[in-house]
Amino acid sequence: MSDHPSIVQITLNTESKRPFHHTPIPEYPLLNEPLPDQTAMEDQLMTYKTQDKKLSEVLHQLPLFAKEFEKLTPQAQSNTLFRLLQRSNTSTLQFTNSLITPILKRDFIACLPHELKLQVISHLDIRTLCIASRVSKKWKSLIDLDKNTWLRLLQKDGFDLPTTPTISWKEHYKRQYTLKSNWKKGRFKRIEFEGHTEFIVTCLQFDEEKIVSGATDSMINIYNTNDPSGPMEQLQGHAGGVWALQYVGNTLVSGSIDRTVRVWNIKKRKCTHIFKGHTSTVRCLQIVEPVMINGRLEPSQPLIVTGSRDFSIRVWNLPNVEEETESDEPYIGEANNPWFKFLLFGHTNSVRSIAAHGNTLVSGSYDNSVAVWNLETGRMVHRMEGHSSNVYAVVIDPIRHQCMSGSMDSTVYVWDILTGECLHKLDGHSILVGLLGLTPNHLVSAAADKTLRVWNPSTGVCEHVLAGEHGHEGAITCFKHDDEKVISGSEGGLKMWDIKTGRHLYDLVTDVKGVWWVTFDKRRCIVAIRDQDETSFQMLDFGVVNLE
């Protein structure tokens, strides 16, 4: 055994906590003070030489230290390292950390089979996925390219699936998420455009290509959605105000105070058919498209249903506007109209509102009643009475086999369309309920009492009243909702509410005399406003900020 003490003993037993090069150098006095004597200087030099010899011996023993260290127990190894680290300066500790950290890091995901990797990330939410994708290039590639993960998130958050094969699923989710965030935080681009001068906008519909509006000036305006302030085109033909319109594809149907129903080819800006028969204003209409119910299409072909102030409802087959005709003039259908199907009589006053799904039609009338009709037979199925004043609005709920009606008597009724029974009477409004809207999870009513109410369509329970400090200042003139938000217009402006909490989010339009109409899709909101006795439009584009 060597006479020299072991390197471990030297390390643990030494009293000095600093290596030789940290020993403080004596501070010499100013030049006008006496210098240290020669003996003191020689003693100091001998101390340095002794320390340097010890350091040389320690360095010489390092290989032995490594072997001895390997023989120690884990606890002793830890204790030894702890003592060494205690005596190390900052730069040494940083160097040690740079060596240890990569050794301790282990990519457990990379060690798994590919199927298990995908199984792990399938349980992560969007926030965790975004953090994980920044860990390494391998993790990012794994997450970015997993279609099933992004499909799961798209479906979970209610987003549309991609229609363009060139865009990645992650990028598509990112755009949808950003768009939703823009709606929530009020980030949009406002575009104003003119239309219908001083007249009332009575109906409005739009898609990715066009915006179509009808008004009391008897005109139907068509704007380019991507450039609404650019050139506008008009469909002329009605001899009175347009009170109802709807288009499907290239086919537009309009109803007017002139008592006619017109069918138009939108691309050609041409009226192809004029249906006569009503003897008063056509107040409401709907194109009823076939849907699959119990294994068969209902109705068997697309229909036009119109309600009028003449107390009647008329049903026509929807013409094909793409068919070429010998004449450039529109077909005028009167007594022997081949497209005419049914005349529905049963109401004793104006038909104010209709709603249809499959072969089931619901109508609300100023005779205080709600009627259910079969569009296959043209017969009334139920006449439901309960309201004590005019019925202004109806909606149909095919999922629950229900319909709802809003009336001037300030109530909303929920009816069973199979039995005609009243299921719920919804009280809360204090005056005319003129507007109703329905999505699978929410029924919304709007009234002249300046409030909107959100109801549970299954139970009839009122979940939220949209009013209060940030509420409207006048009767609600228009609104639309989905399962995230309600956008409502009144005298003064346009507001947006969180439908799940009833909280006012922000004002979209302010300081205007009135709002005639509002509608929106996933990206845009179109609003018709009245200000300084002029009618104009605004498009609020939420798909520009952070996306384009």
pLDDT value of residue 32: 42
3-state class (DSSP) for residue 519: strand
pLDDT value of residue 57: 76
Residues 405, 406, 407, 408, Cα dihedral to 10°: -170
Q: Which whole-number Å values give the CA distances from 308 to 116, 350, 374, 406, 436, in the listed order?
A: 64, 6, 18, 18, 19
Closest CA to 508 of 532, 528, 534, 484: 528
How far apart (Å, rounded) are the C-alpha atoms in residues 310 and 333?
A: 18
Provide DSSP, 4-69: SPPHHHHHHH---SS-GGGSPPPPPPPTTSPPPPHHHHHHHHHHHHHHHHHHHHHHHTHHHHHHHH
How far apart (Å, rounded) are the C-alpha atoms in residues 265 and 55?
A: 99
Place of tokens 């500790």: 93
Pairing of strands 331-333, 270-275: parallel
* CA-atom Rg of the chain in angstroms: 39
CB 282 within 8 A of CB 255: yes
3-state class (DSSP) for residue 292: strand
pLDDT value of residue 65: 81
Q: Which residues pair with 189 in a beta bridge?
A: 541
Burial of 10 (0-12, 13-18, 19+ CB in 10 A): middle
Place of tokens 């095919």: 398
Closest CA to 494 of 510, 476, 516: 510
Which secondary-structure segment (H or E) carries 176?
helix 169-185
Low-confidence ranges of the chain (pLDDT < 50): 1-36
412-416 sheet: strands from edge to edge = 391-397, 402-407, 412-416, 422-426
How far apart (Å, rounded) are the C-alpha atoms in residues 421 and 148?
A: 46
3-state class (DSSP) for residue 462: strand
Q: Which whole-number Å values give the CA distances from 105 to 74, 87, 108, 125, 129, in the listed order?
A: 20, 26, 9, 24, 20
How far apart (Å, rounded) are the C-alpha atoms in residues 385 and 250?
A: 39
pLDDT value of residue 38: 52
Amino acid, single-letter form, for residue 256: S
Non-local (6+) Cβ contacts of 281 within 8 A are: 240, 243, 256, 257, 259, 308, 309
pLDDT value of residue 46: 59
Q: Is the CA virtual torsion 93, 99, 104, 110 positive or negative? A: positive
